Structure 1
Amino acid sequence: MSLRVLSVALAFGIGLVGIGVGAPRAAAVDPAAPVQVAIAVPIIVPESAGGLISADALTQYTSPLGTLTRQLDSIEGRPVVLGIDPRIIVSIRILGTAAPASASAWLARLEAAPNESFPLTYADSDITLASQAGSTVVLQPTGFDFAIDPALFTAPLTTIPPTPTGTPTPTAAATPTAPVVPPLPSSQDLESWQYSLTGIAWPVESTVTASDLPIISSSGFSTMILSSANLDRTPGSGAVADVTGTRSLVADATASASFRSAVQSFTVADWQANTAAMSSAISTAGQDQSGSTATVVITLDRNALDSGNRLADTITAVQGNPRVRIVGFTELLGVDASPATVIDQPHSPDQLALMRQLLEAQTAEAQFAAIAEDPLAITSARRLDLLALQSSGWRSNPAGWPVIVTSDLVVSTELRSAVQVASTGDFNFLAAAAPLPIAVANNLDQPVTVYVTVRPDTGLLTVGDTRIELEIEPNSQASAMIPAQAVSNGVVGVTVSLSSASGVPIGESSRARINVQAGWETPIVIVIASLVVAVFGGGLVRNILRLRKAAAAKGSGA
């Protein structure tokens, strides 16, 4: 242990002695018993707009000075509880043979870590932001099949070396090494991890309202981590609470704030002062408790670690103090829970307004995707993007979040405009009955099936079948032939629209003008028929006259 860590640990222990000899407490806590402290640390990456982390970003994050490397270096060998963002695991695994070597090595290190762990929501998404904006469930990924490239899970081709010329120098035969190629994974394989704890929801600090609780519980979470500042508790309560029927680990707001300040301290002096403040906060929290054992939960904030952080030293200072016993969540959850209620602390109206737009766009995308051959290829990708936009990390970038949300809403609009009625314009209808050709463009990379409807404004034109099914290949156009019949001459406006099998409108409707010339061919046919009759009639008359003339000539000759 370094001298600075030892000196702070000693000061830390002196501060904690106050638990036994300090101010009077609500009830007797065993003064000889150390304070049980659980520390939760998130394993996360900086906020980004992508549902999957790129190979370049993973290379940066897992480099020797990268944020993921710093996080793992700081917690390795230290008994803290890890909340792991599944997006990191999925993003590395889905790259298969193209995964950066540093990222694969980092993942192996994480897997070997003995720490208790639990999964964060995907992309460390802000649970309550969605629920307060109208979502009735905690949003989760719907699959990753759309992004799995089989080529990344196939052994590379073996290169045959050229035959050497001349007399070769004898060398020992090399033993061929087969390439390590992971098997083709399923979506479940990509997310699978040996977590020691599951069913834990960790909302962003001080953002929970009472209406969020049933949504979180019904989404499969049995335990929550809540800030003490977000709860109304009875005096003497420990770190485990029963919040309207949901078991919750209560993070002490004061101790956590001091812990974070110590981690982010720039100078040694600042770090010593902040660590002493943490010691005092833990001491005070222990004094206030009425149980037989004092329990305190400390959480690190949800921002990726910067370079120069002092997380390892701060954990070591706590760990090395004889007046503290660091425990895991498993042990802490065995402690009796005290009743508590939520003090509503909702997100800001501006944040909720933007989140509602994202949720509405996601609903519209799901309706649109129903026309595609593989709807999940569209909706799964967009769900990951939505979760990334919900990432807790965006709270540290309040100016950037509205910008990226607006950009995503534009992407959503463009997606839902990828299948449209092609430009119709004006055209002539020059038959009593004939099909109307309506062209539809599909700019998606998969086939779609839509239903084409044509509605005339007036009775000059009638349409036989109001919904014509049309299949369109990827990145192409196809025409639906709409049966129509002219009733009278004139110009009629029509509205052309598309819909899904369930009748949901697809894209924007289109307008066209049709010049109807009902029965224009009838007088022409009459004229042609008259000409034919005249020609054949004239020929017949000529034949009759010729025959009569021949007969008369024969009679006069006789």
Structure 2
Amino acid sequence: MRVTRGPGVWAAWLLALALPLTGVLVQANSLAVAHATEESGEIDAAEDAADEAAVTEDVEFVVAPVDPVILATQEEVEFRVLLRNSGKRSLPDGSIELSLGDQIVSGSVILPTGPEVAESDNRPAPVVVATEQIGVTAAASEQEVTVTVPMDEVPFALSTEPGVYRLYAKYVAAESSSQAALTAYSPIVWQGTSDPTANVKVSFIVPLLLPEDVHSMPSRPQLEDAVPGLDDLLDFATQTDAMLAIDPRIIAAVRAYGDEAPESAQEFLARLERSSLTSFTLQYADADPAAQATLNFEGLLMPQGLDFITRFGTWSSQSEAEDEAGSDAEGTEGEGSTSDGTGGTDSDPENPDDPQSDAPATDVSATVDTAADPVTGEPTLSALGDWPGGLPGAWPADGRVSNETMTLLDRSGLDFTVVNSSNVTLTGGPQATLGDGSAAVTDEELTSGVQLALGGATDAERNLGAAQAQARLVLAAMTSEHGLVLGVDRGGIVDSEDPIDVLESLISQDWVQTTAFENQAEGTAVLEPAEPDAERIELLERAAANESAVLETRALLVHPEYLDSYQRMRLLNLFATRNAAATTNVEELERAYFERDEELQSGVSIVGTKKAQLVGVSSRIPVQLRNPLPFDAIVTLSAAPTSAALSMSERQFTDILLPEDSTEGVLVPVRSRVSSGESSILLSVTSTDEEFTSSTDVLPVSISTSLESIAIASLAVAAALLFGFGIWRSVRRRAQSAGE
């Protein structure tokens, strides 16, 4: 596609280069404001400009090459452009102009901002290679277009110097619109590195996590579904000699179910235990230590038990092994750190978003220890999450580590920290000392590129992430930079449909040499403190504070300790580092979490208390009890008339068993003392010891026993008439027979 470039085009691009540009998503920038000579016209123009600016703020404009590396052997190059309009006004139709810079980039893949963009590099304006028309983008919608450019239109196609170049895009609305122009940028790799022998050492930290829809501990079907993805990640980690960061819920769940765990999960855990890769366990559910430090927790948040899932387990093989070894029937404590999980039932053990704990919000680090069952061979709590040989490490949310975070980790005995380069000043290699401990310093540009490549919502965004990541690797290789560490994004890796494809595309290039973290150059890191997002911290503080209120309903349960475990795991899951991402909808997270909190706090409730009609002297009135809790409840129902019009031979119904998430009916016997009138029954649901009241209600009763008398009299009359009619017919027939 050939485009004629006149002076107006060059001027437009010089102006575009003076605008702020970023390496990920470039928000729209206003290029023009209407001019007016009259005062009233100036006011109108200003108002119009303000309206257009409001529209612009709600628009995202993205451009990226379909393939992050362009080769001279290609006949054409494809680019993707995305326009996303999250505002309430339509974005008019217009044109998209793509341009390529023909000057090689050095240093950062993120462009500098401001007027110095054009001046600092002393480079010519980019070359326009394509113009594409695009239709109206309706409010709350998006559209993505693919633009194909023949190779002979690419300005650096004849260049002999491989490297990183710049791709620009500009959207200009139709002439009839006053819509401001939008600009976007992406790096692009031509051929690779200028030195074919240049490479950069890259070390991976690969997280092994459960899918996002596991809100507490995984059920057996969920565990089985997760294994194929975990196997693939372990394969990749083995191939690249990566470091593993493991959610202990995976380890603990397989051990908690024991012989009842899916066979594939048992095989995966056995393989993981045999692996020689360097590894460490995260907090349960990958909870964020940085957020806990901001909330002034005295210790790291810990589970409160795994009884609610070990109830589904059997451990015959373990018991037999212990018997053969002559082990003590009481068992011993497992080595390493103790950990404790919580979830719902086997069918849905991870009901979302609820905080709970006996301990105050600022003292939630205490662990619960249990002895091994001498009959079943159930593992101890500490043994369920034990990971001997693992590093005493932690991985707070990227870019959120503060001095308080480091103090909390030190107090918890964790002296190895994964920290993002945006959070420290690094001298030397990424295998660094940090305070009194050690750290793996992950590269911010590479990490953010891979994060977008994994978790981008559209092809264009994922292409942009891949381009940024590959450009970062090429630049590092060409500048003989110290090696890089990639901490694979923990949110993206569980949400991406093909994370292995994204990761393997990074290591498939000649300029990338994978290596174990221990082989990286050593350096020194100085913390540049940062704090977690205030809105997220407010949510976590409320959730932790509400924990004790939710736990009050434990008094209704057959096994109260199940709710302790379940609620704590819900809280840990709410603390997950994936929720620290800038794209997290905190309001939606809060709504879902506290909806479940309210459901759990409601305990066993009385439902359907509409007015009852008592048409006889005595009756049995049904009362419905609802148990929304994820565990079996046992309660007492008390009933008492509110007036002398009713009497009750039985007022208390004890030991009513309600299975988890169920509704059961209770028949309450009632006797009327009057023929008609209005009364009611006071109902109350309490714990079996009657110390905790879960629900109270008043059931209105309308008394109409006269209806019963009328009905009986009517039946008597009907019976008499039928009897008389029968006698009359018999007499008549006999008379007729006698006459014949």
Shorter-chain TM band: 0.5 to 0.7
Determine whether 1:297 maps to 2:490.
no
Q: Which residue of 1 aligns with 2:413?
A: 220
Question: Could you tell me which residue of structure 2 aligns to residue 68 of structure 1?
Answer: 230
Change (3 A) 1:187 1:283: farther
Structure 1 segments unaligned to the other structure (5+ residues): 17-34, 156-181, 287-293, 425-438, 453-469, 479-493, 513-558
1:306 is the counterpart of 2:471 = no
**Displacement after TM superposition at 1:229 (Å):** 0.5
Distance 1:471 1:136, change over 3 A: farther
Q: Distance in 1 between matches of 2:531 and 2:656?
A: 50
In structure 1, the partner of 2:385 is 191
1:411 aligns with 2:605: no
Match of 1:384 among 558, 566, 569: 569
- Cα contact 2:193–2:474 (8 A) shared by 1: no
Alpha-carbon distance change, 111 to 12 in structure 1, aligned in 2, over 3 angstroms: farther
CA distance in 2, matches of 1:422, 1:272: 57
Match of 1:113 among 252, 264, 275: 275
Aligned mate of 1:354, from 539, 547, 553: 539
The corresponding residue for 1:434 is: none
Q: Which amino acid aligns with 1:230?
A: N
Q: Does 1:327 align with 2:512?
A: no
Q: 1:385 to 1:319 in 2, by over 3 A?
A: farther
Residues 315 and 9 of structure 1: is their aligned pair in 2 closer, same or farther, counting only changes over 3 Å? farther
Greater mean deviation of Cα atoms: 133-142 or 394-403: 394-403
**1:526 aligns to what?**
none
Q: Does structure 2 retain, via aligned residues, the 8 Å contact 1:205–1:227?
A: yes
**Deviations 1:76-99, CA, capped at 9 Å, x for gaps:** 233111101112223333344443
The counterpart of 2:220, out of the listed 55, 58, 68, is 55
Following superposition, the deviation at residue 186 of structure 1 comes to: 3.6
Deviations 1:211-233 (A, max 9, x none): 333233323322221112012x3
Residues 1:250 and 2:427 are matched in the alignment: no
Post-superposition offset of 1:117: 0.8
- Partner of residue 202 from structure 1, selected from 395, 399, 402: 395
User: What does residue range 475-554 of structure 1 map to in structure 2 within 5 Å?
Assistant: 475=658, 507=694
Q: Secondary structure at the match of 1:328?
A: helix
RMSD: 5.3
Question: Whole-Å Cα distance in 2 between the matches of residues 375 and 205 of structure 1?
Answer: 37
Structure 1 position 241 matched with structure 2 position 429: no
Deviations 1:320-354 (A, max 9, x none): 74xx854339x88xx5745x2333242142x2232
Residues 46 and 92 from structure 1, CA distance in 2 versus in 1: closer, same or farther, beyond 3 angstroms? same
Structure with the higher fraction of residues in strand conformation: 2
Q: One-letter code of the match for 1:214?
A: T
CA contact (8 A) 1:78 1:316 kept: no
Following TM superposition, by how much is the alpha carbon of 1:202 offset from its aligned partner in structure 2, in angstroms? Answer: 0.1
Q: Separation in 1 of the partners of 2:292 and 2:427?
A: 32
Match for residue 422 of structure 2 among 229, 242, 255: 229
CA distance in 2, matches of 1:101, 1:130: 36
Residue 655 of structure 2 contacts residue 688 of structure 2 at CA under 8 Å; is this kept in 1?
no
For the Cα contact (< 8 Å) 1:142–1:380, is it kept in 2?
yes
Residue matched to 1:14: 198
Give the superposition deviation at 1:195.
Answer: 4.0
Letter paired with 2:282? L
The C-alpha deviation readout for 1:13-47, integer Å capped at 9, x for no partner, is 4255xxxxxxxxxxxxxxxxxx6x54311112331
Identical-pair percentage: 21
User: Which residue does the alignment assign to 2:529?
Assistant: 343
The number of residues matched between the two structures is: 408
Within 5 Å, which residues of 2 pair with 1:72-91?
72-91=234-253
SS of the residue 1:383 aligns to: helix
Residues 442-461 of structure 1: pairs in structure 2 closer than 5 A:
none
The answer to whether the aligner puts 1:139 opposite 2:290 as a matched pair is no
Mapped contact 1:44–1:88 kept (Cα < 8 A): yes
Change (3 A) 1:285 1:379: farther
CA distance in 2 between partners of 1:270 and 1:413 (Å): 40
- Residue identity in the other structure for 2:576: S
* 2:205 corresponds to which of 40, 46, 65: 40
Determine the structure 1 residue equivalent to 2:63. none
CA deviations 1:212-258 (Å, max 9, x no partner) are: 33233323322221112012x37557641334x55433223234445
Cα distance, 1:144 vs structure 2: 0.7
User: Is the helix fraction higher in 1 or 2?
Assistant: 1
Partners of 1:366 and 1:264 lie apart in 2 by 36
Give the SS at the match of 2:501: coil
- After superposition, the C-alpha distances for 1:96-150 in whole angstroms (9 at most, x for unaligned) are 4443333333333323322111101112223333443564432122211121135
Does the 8 Å CA contact 2:552/2:601 hold for their aligned counterparts? no
- In the alignment, is the contact (CA less than 8 A) between 1:9 and 1:320 conserved in 2? no
1:216 alignment partner AA: L
- Structure 1: distance between partners of 2:258 and 2:313: 9
Q: Give the Å deviation of 1:310.
A: 3.8
2-structure distance, mates of 1:40, 1:298: 6
Change (3 A) 1:185 1:270: closer
Q: Secondary structure at the match of 1:94?
A: helix
Q: 1:47 to 1:422 in 2, by over 3 A?
A: closer
1:467-514 deviations in Å (ceiling 9; x for gaps): xxx996654999xxxxxxxxxxxxxxx9x998999x9x86578899xx
Q: 1:246 to 1:442 in 2, by over 3 A?
A: farther
CA distance in 1, matches of 2:569, 2:417: 23
Matched with 1:20 is none
Q: 1:392 to 1:189 in 2, by over 3 A?
A: same
Equivalents in 1 of 2:586, 2:221: separation in Å?
22
